[in-house]
Structure 1
Amino acid sequence: MCGKNKARVAFLLMLVLLAVSGMSQTRRTSRTGRTKSQLEREKRNALREIRETSRILQQTQQRKDATIGQLNALKEKIAGQQNVINNISSELKYLDSDVRQTETQVQQTQQTLQQLKEEYSRLIYASAKTANSYNRIMFLFASESFNQLLRRLQYVRQYSEVRKAQAAQITNTQDKLNRQLTGLHAKRQEKSSLLSSQLTENRNLLTIKTQQDQVVTQLSRQEETLRQKLASRQKAVSRLDDLIAQRVREEIARAARAAANRAASRAATASRGNAPVRSPGSTARNAPVEAEVARTDRVTLTPETAVLSSSFADNRGRLLWPVGRGFIAQRFGKHPHPVLKHVVVENRGVDIQTNSGETVRSVFDGKVLTVASIAGMNNIVMIQHGEYFTVYAKLRSVSVSEGQQVQARQAIGTVYTDAEGTSEVQFQVWRNSANLNPENWLGRK
């Protein structure tokens, strides 16, 4: 009977160890899983962006009249608020699953612990029957041989050690169960806190949407003024488009002339040295790099500018933002006017709304191609990156000059704040004469 009890106890101990180990691992995975950590990080980022947008919104609210800049800031704040609520909802789903899993594990541990206690109780009862010294001595001296005596003596010692080990394991399991229960209580408190946060954020969202409705209502009463502003903006955009197209054409022509001059110079040098001139299709190892005919539809690149152009292209989706803080108030392409019905506006770039006085910086290494000023767009800086061009409009001040080499992150000016209190920079990306969507090129803030 004692041998069976010992084997059963050993088997149960093994089950407890495996169960506790599995529960610990499951809990650890649930707590530090990538998805949950990512959600928490995204929520922190969303809250940070809401704070930034609130500061921008506060600047636009200094005037009593509603403005498009104020409406854009409210829309961005609503989007950020919705992101926070969605993240909290996702966190609650993970936490609910974690709580249910932990509750199941606690129940299993309690059952296993109860079985261990019952087995230990039977061991104690069986041991009590032979606990006196006389029975133990009789058990030993009843051995038929000296070897059997040694085995029985070892068995008595091992039996006592198993009892002690089992008692210690019961204590350890009880301690781990208590820690599990404490963790479960903490998770339930976390869930309660998240539910409270979700309720608060929903109230905040409702407040912001109410403000948005009020601004839209006020702006709707200014239809004639908005149409005049839109017409003025379209004229400014047209002037900017003409300037960009002209400067790109001029750069294409200049690069073509430079390439032709270099080719002619090499041909003259080769002629003086009686060396044969390589044809454009030559496959000789020492063929001139620029033997090709200069292009008229795109910038003819030198080896140096080709490397810069390729590097710019390789950073698609990873470029710096032209400002350190802000949000995209108006996206690229055609989209409905935020207030005027049946009116479609077109944007060659993106309008990034930011703080007053914010520094505008170059998004990549390059050469300042143009510094100009256009009514409605204020100061403009155009930077060349090989066959790519970036345009920064609506600058209050400019700190670079034409022909200057600039580095990524280098300040090129400060953002302009209009009479309505809206501070935004117009950012565009071009490849030769092709207009590109800047959002496909900018990285995460």
Structure 2
Amino acid sequence: MKKLLLTILFMLTGALLMAQTAEQKKLEQRKAQILKEIKDLNSLINKEDKKEKSALSQISESEAKIKLSEKLISTTNRQTRLLTDEIYLNQLKINKLKRELVVLKEDYSKTLVKAYKSRNEQSRIMFILSSKNFLEAYRRIQYMKQYASFRKIQGDEIRTKMAELEKTIATLEGQKKEKVKLVAQSEKDKDALEKDKKEQQSLVKTIQKDRKKLNAEVVKKQKESREVQQKIDAAIREAIAAANKKTAKSTTESKTTTAAASTASPNKIVLTKEGKLISDNFKANKGKLSYPVAHGYISLPYGDTPHPFVKGYTQHNSGVEITTNPGEAVRAVFGGEVSQIQMTPDTKKKIVYIRHGDYFTVYYNMESVNVSPGQEVSAMQSIGTVATNPVTKESVLKFCILQNTSYLNPSSWIVK
């Protein structure tokens, strides 16, 4: 019973180690993405002229840097916790292997003693000749062969266990060294974070006298953002209506599909067979879609976030804002059909909509566009360039993902 419990524990330990190894790989990928964003952010900060940047832009950059540093520390801490668990599980494995080796060596030792006592060739022959009949003699010969084979198996098992033990000990030592590195890196990142926070506090203090002006700038930006979202909402509803109208008139789809499309809700696309395949393919690539720009960092995340210095003010974002280089090429994150291209009347910046079944990707604040409505585009294909604000000198792409009219968090879908 005790042996059975130990075997079950060993199997569970192995399963846990494999699961944690997979989690470690995910964390490594996440860490690499964060480090890439930090590198792009620092590169953009170094390229820009601080004298030309507004205080709001500087605070935005500072806030983005702090958020990325916090994500990096959080990811490193998760890696450290996983390593601690792996170290513990590997130590359990080593203890079990050592116990098994003790038992195996004891059994092997007893087998060798018995073999030594019966080593005389004459005694083995007499053992066979003393058989009562031929069948018994045959059985004794087979027994002697099996006994010799058993000794070999015992020896091989001991060697295998010793090799496994040595490998696990080496893995454990490597994990301990890696943990020391991660802890040291985490402490270094925490120091850098504290420095960034102090710099941000200092920057906020220097602009206290212009608080009213900055508050007005924040409110203006949020108003512009709401207007753009309303424009996007209307365009998506138009695209849904157009898609359902086309499906309703189709002669290749089933009567059920065409009937459903003709009476469909204005907020949901009735998918054709081809549309469902595209939609399912898009959904299957969640967490694997490429970034819409080659370089950049998320300067404003999805959802509601408190403003870094305007107390009590919450910023709402239906997508993500990615700050990048001036003139940076904007890429389609997945293959699809360009459903519409719009231009904002005030800023004259363009918005590109790409449909993927009942999913849409939206690219806003584009200076130039090199695709047209109805055109099929492939993943990573350039669709235009990002615009640069002449006042703030920032080049920011707003990127949204929707399923029908529901906004989704792009950070859960794209990866660098």
TM-score of the two chains, using structure 1 as the length reference: 0.62
Q: Separation in 2 of the partners of 1:116 and 1:348?
A: 64
Q: Separation in 2 of the partners of 1:122 and 1:320?
A: 63
Select 2:35's aligned residue among 41, 47, 63.
47
**What displacement does 1:390 show?**
9.4
**What displacement does 1:349 show?**
7.7
Equivalent positions of 1:320-359 (< 5 A) are 323-330=293-300, 337-341=307-311, 351-359=321-329
1:30 matches 2:17: yes
Do the aligned residues in 2 keep the contact of 1:415 with 1:423 (CA within 8 Å)?
A: yes
Q: Separation in 2 of the partners of 1:369 and 1:156?
A: 86
Do the aligned residues in 1 keep the contact of 2:350 with 2:365 (CA within 8 Å)?
A: no
Q: Separation in 2 of the partners of 1:100 and 1:334?
A: 40
Q: Separation in 2 of the partners of 1:90 and 1:161?
A: 49
2:132 counterpart letter in structure 1: E
Q: Separation in 2 of the partners of 1:108 and 1:85?
A: 35
1:379 counterpart letter in structure 2: K
Do the aligned residues in 1 keep the contact of 2:337 with 2:376 (CA within 8 Å)?
A: yes
| Identity over aligned pairs, percent | 22
Structure 2 residue aligned with 1:62: 50
1:175 matches 2:155: no
Structure 2 regions of 5+ residues with no counterpart? Answer: 246-254
Q: Separation in 2 of the partners of 1:67 and 1:238?
A: 23
Structure 2 residue aligned with 1:380: 349
**What displacement does 1:115 show?**
1.7
TM-score of the two chains, using structure 2 as the length reference: 0.66
Structure 1 residue aligned with 2:393: 421
After alignment, is 45-54 or 352-361 more displaced? 352-361
Q: Separation in 2 of the partners of 1:107 and 1:136?
A: 40
Of the two, which has the highest radius of gyration?
A: 1
Is the partner of 1:144 in helix, strand or coil? coil
Q: Separation in 1 of the partners of 2:86 and 2:16?
A: 10
Structure 1 residue aligned with 2:251: none
Q: Separation in 2 of the partners of 1:207 and 1:184?
A: 35
Is the partner of 1:113 in helix, strand or coil? helix
**What displacement does 1:68 show?**
1.5
Q: Separation in 1 of the partners of 2:45 and 2:206?
A: 16
Cα 1:85–1:383, aligned 2, differ >3 Å: closer, same or farther?
Answer: closer
1:142 matches 2:142: no
Cα 1:334–1:90, aligned 2, differ >3 Å: closer, same or farther?
Answer: closer
Q: Separation in 2 of the partners of 1:430 and 1:188?
A: 44
1:198 matches 2:209: no
After alignment, is 333-342 or 95-104 more displaced? 333-342
Cα 1:63–1:365, aligned 2, differ >3 Å: closer, same or farther?
Answer: farther
**What displacement does 1:128 show?**
3.0
2:214 counterpart letter in structure 1: L
After alignment, is 35-44 or 136-145 more displaced? 136-145
Q: Separation in 2 of the partners of 1:442 and 1:180?
A: 35
Cα 1:66–1:138, aligned 2, differ >3 Å: closer, same or farther?
Answer: same
Do the aligned residues in 1 keep the contact of 2:302 with 2:410 (CA within 8 Å)?
A: no
Q: Deviations over 1:393-445 (max 9, x none)?
A: 755x44569x97666555344411434432224678999xx9x8685799525
Is the partner of 1:353 in helix, strand or coil? strand
Do the aligned residues in 2 keep the contact of 1:416 with 1:425 (CA within 8 Å)?
A: no
After alignment, is 114-123 or 145-154 more displaced? 145-154
Do the aligned residues in 1 keep the contact of 2:338 with 2:353 (CA within 8 Å)?
A: yes
Structure 2 residue aligned with 1:121: 109
**What displacement does 1:118 show?**
1.7
1:84 counterpart letter in structure 2: L
Cα 1:362–1:442, aligned 2, differ >3 Å: closer, same or farther?
Answer: farther
> What count of residue pairs does the alignment treat as equivalent?
374
Cα 1:157–1:36, aligned 2, differ >3 Å: closer, same or farther?
Answer: same
Do the aligned residues in 1 keep the contact of 2:338 with 2:375 (CA within 8 Å)?
A: yes
1:92 matches 2:64: no
Q: Deviations over 1:185-207 (max 9, x none)?
A: 22222222222232232223223
